Each structure stands twice: as C-alpha cells, then as structure tokens.
Amino acid sequence: MALEPGDPAPAVRAPNQDGDAVEPDWTGVSVVYFYPKDDTPGCTTEAEQFQAELESYRDAGVTVYGVSTDGVDSHADFADEYDIEFDLLADPDGEVAEAFDVELSGGVASRTTFVVVGESIQAVYTGVDPDGHARNVLADLIETGVVTLDD
C-alpha cells in the first residue's frame, strides 16, 4: 500500500538522467510520479505531458520528479529523445519505490503519483491514466489552493 496523505515524505536519494545525485528537498511543493518503463507508449505520453506543463508547474513553484526502475543511461536516452527537462530519478534497485511503498511488479513500479507539500504527502494518485494526468494534477493543486498561477 502506497504512502497516504498526511504521511511524512521519505528522505530519498537517487541519480538523475545526468548521473547527478538528487536528494529532493520536500520543504516546498513537489510532484513525484512513478512510471513503469522509459520509452513505452504510456510512459512517453505521461513524460511528454509533464514536460508540456513544466513551465506552469515551475511558475506555481512546483518541482516535478519522474521515477522508474530504469537506469541512468536509459533515462538519459529517454530525456534526450523527448526533451525532458525535469529530473528522472533512476531507481534500479527499487529503493525509492520502497520508500514510498509503491508496488513493484516484475521489477517495474506501478503508475503512482504523490504530491508532497511541506515534507508530508498531500495527495496520492493510483491507477493513473497517463493521458491528461499532468494537467489533472496541476488543476487539483490549483483547485485545492496548494498553489496559484498568475494569469
């Protein structure tokens, strides 16, 4: 069972697509989305849509992280091919997934998204449909007053 709203966000550290160690600072607002595999249809749709919304996320002060059990090289190729500018965290041993209690099946993470606000889990999305998910999460953040966007 994944972490639930109100649970503290776990301290995690993992390399991104550039091989740089990333240790998210949960004091602001972050979206952490777990996805099964780089360069597959649903995962590509989800990553491209988070990238398309990235400017709005950044304008709202939200940091986006994608996480899968693929390695750094796979993430680097995926990010290069689809111009992904946010951190894709490599979790080949499933340690980040385990910290968030995300189910691993056949070595890949189930599609689960967390909103972290002020070091605690604010919202959890499971059984995610990748098409439209990035926009829906941003809309929920605005609707619930977690963030605002100036028009």
88 Cβ contact list (under 8 Å, min separation 6):
16, 17, 38, 47, 65, 66, 67, 68, 75, 78, 79
Catalytic residue among 29, 43, 109, 134: 43
47's tokens: 């990553």
* Sign of the four-CA dihedral 71, 118, 113, 100: positive
Residue among 58, 55, 56, 49 nearest 66 (CA) = 49
10 Cβ contact list (under 8 Å, min separation 6):
3, 99, 100
Task: Identify whether 43 is a catalytic site residue.
Answer: yes
User: Would you name the residues annotated as active-site residues?
Assistant: 43
